[in-house]
A and B are shown apart, each in its own frame.
Chain A
Amino acid sequence: MNLQQAGQALRARTVSSVELMRHSLQRITQVDSKLKAFITVMAESAEAQAREADARFASGTDLGPLQGIPVAVKDVFCTAGVRTTCGSKLFADYVPEQDSAVVERLRSAGAVLLGKTNMHELAYGVTSSNPHYGAVRNPWDCNRVAGGSSGGSGSAVAAGMAFMAMGSDTGGSIRIPAAFCGTVGLKPTYGRVSRIGVLPLDFSLDHMGPLTRSVRDAGATLNALAGYDPRDETSSRRPTENYVPSEKVSVRDLRIGLPENFYFDQVAPVIVDSIHHAATVLERSGARILPIRLPDVAALNTVGRIILLCEAAATMQRYLGRREDFGSDVLALLDQGSLIPGTDYVNAQRMRRVLRQQFAAIYESVDCLLTPTTPTTAPKVGQALIKIGDQEQDVRIASTRLVRGINVLGWPALSVPCGFDEQRLPIGVQIIGRPFAEALILKVGALLEDSLGIVGQEPRL
């Protein structure tokens, strides 16, 4: 059952919010000792919120599609009175006084907050093998990572512990776990969802968005989250729209770009085949699949890495004397950021402007891009190198290669399950749009979801 189906059942009174919430908590009890998807479970407050939701339904009050739905948030979103660790030993006892803007909006929409999900330490990595709170496991194969940094959110949604879980994405951290865990993951445009009350990793690259069991669930969540927040200087005043695709979507005459360069280099053949199949499905539905040559994506990634290293090191500088409180991989990245000169950071932000102009020009010929989300399926827990063809690559560099650049541009991007590999591990297709084109990429994702029949398949645990 997905979020929208649960909402229909709640409104038909065939199930109550308390029943949904208890089922979620039971599922957490059953499988989370194995998956390590949660850092904190909020059973008591969830029970109270579910009772409130049921009372609202009984009185005829309806706050929208999230009312009464059990959800979770990555432990990077501040929750008033509930510790927010950011997956770090540094914040193990940090209890915020206020909710983050995202949590405020979820509460206003009547959602039931089950708990805080596990993540890569400080949201700075792609495995979610957290040295302090446990390694998050992939529900499709518990020997494999869930991806990161929002790995707990991906694992929780895929394993049926929550109907939606919020993630943050600085260099792919929503889309990578979505692809590895077989969920939908939406990174909205920079400025579309408020960053207030989210422990920052990188001010100019951090994005907030949902991981869900269907594309329409992601649209319904964005409806609740999107909008101007005067407390966030980067928040957009652009009006929001309805992000939930209609029941019967059309992609007729949509120009969908299939990159000729970069995005299909050093990608596992089974993933290339899956993306080409998705393109064929879209073409049969009336879309125009257009080969497109993109500007320098490798340059975009390098600029993104310089910005990420420097901003993260600056953000964490006051804690860097406590070296023993960091995991070794995160500390190595923070050390790298501390060593890069300020001139490189400023020049990276200047180069970002040049690249943004170059990449914006592609929308003269296409409406969106279709690419793989990751070049491989989920690696094993503890695996540092991954083989693609005859080349061995660093797992972190490989996993972020097809997603990182989009954070530099701030564009919206959606990962949708589109197939499985030979070991029945999920494959994700990435749909990338122009700024604030969330409705369009969700429409394309919904067509794939409706046509491929992949979304909704569940792992056997």
Chain B
Amino acid sequence: MNRDWKSIARGLALGIPESEIEKIEAPLQDLTNHFNSILDTLPHETEPAVIFRCGEEGE
């Protein structure tokens, strides 16, 4: 399902002109579609590769 990038930009008050969003929405949608297809294989318990460490003990 395609995202409504103009609505997202308006909702977040990003100040991006609509004409600029029109230039980027196709590549952004392509990227998002491919990313979503990859996510189907992501195991539920997987933690992010970037993890907060509390002090040197975690290193």
Contacts and interface: CB of A to CB of B under 8 A. Distances in A.
A356 B49 contact: yes
Contacts of B9: 335, 338-339
Q: Which range contains the number of B residues in contact with the other chain?
A: 20 to 34
Interface string A289-332: 00000001011001101100000000000001101000000011
Contact of B50 (A204, A302, A303, A336): A204
Contacts of A341: 8
A348 interface: yes
B1 interface: no
B34 A302 contact: yes
Given A336-B27, A339-B5, A349 B38 contact: no
A347 B39 contact: yes
Contact of A332 (B20, B39, B41): B20
A331 B15 CA distance: 12
B5 A350 contact: no
Nearest to A235: B59
B58 to A, nearest CB: 10
B59 A335 contact: no
A346 B52 CA distance: 13
A297 B11 CA distance: 34
A233 interface: yes
A306 B48 CA distance: 14
Contact of A339 (B28, B34, B47, B59): B28
Interface residues of A, number: 32
Nearest to A323: B15
A181 B48 CA distance: 37
A321 B38 CA distance: 33
B53 A233 contact: yes
A352 B49 contact: yes
Given A335-B14, A338-B12, A350 B47 contact: yes
B24 to A, nearest CB: 5
Contacts of A331: 20
B14 A351 contact: no
Contacts of A305: 31
B46 interface: yes
Nearest to A343: B39
A93 interface: no
A349 B16 contact: no
Contacts of A344: 32, 35
A13 interface: no
A350 B42 contact: yes
B8 to A, nearest CB: 5
Nearest to B43: A354
Contact of A353 (B38, B41, B49): B49
A354 B41 contact: yes
A237 interface: yes
A197 B48 CA distance: 26
B9 to A, nearest CB: 6
A383 B31 CA distance: 22
Contacts of A306: 31, 35
B13 to A, nearest CB: 11
Contacts of A346: 48
Most A CB within 10 A of own CB, among B14, B24, B27, B50 = B50
Nearest to B44: A350
Interface string B1-25: 0000100110010111000110110
A340 B9 CA distance: 10
A331 B5 CA distance: 16
Nearest to A357: B46
Contacts of B41: 354
Contacts of B32: 340, 344
Most B CB within 10 A of own CB, among A302, A303, A352 = A302
Nearest to B16: A335
A321 B15 CA distance: 8
Given A347-B39, A348-B35, A336 B24 contact: yes
Contacts of A299: 34, 38
A385 to B, nearest CB: 13
Contacts of A323: 15
10 contacts: A298-B34, A303-B38, A321-B15, A335-B14, A335-B20, A338-B9, A340-B32, A344-B32, A349-B50, A350-B47
Interface of A: 204, 233, 237, 296, 298-299, 302-303, 305-306, 320-321, 323, 331-332, 335-336, 338-341, 344, 346-354, 356
Given A321-B15, A347-B39, 20 more contacts: A237-B59, A299-B34, A302-B34, A332-B20, A332-B23, A335-B16, A336-B24, A338-B12, A338-B14, A339-B5, A339-B9, A339-B14, A339-B28, A344-B35, A350-B42, A350-B47, A351-B38, A351-B42, A351-B46, A353-B49
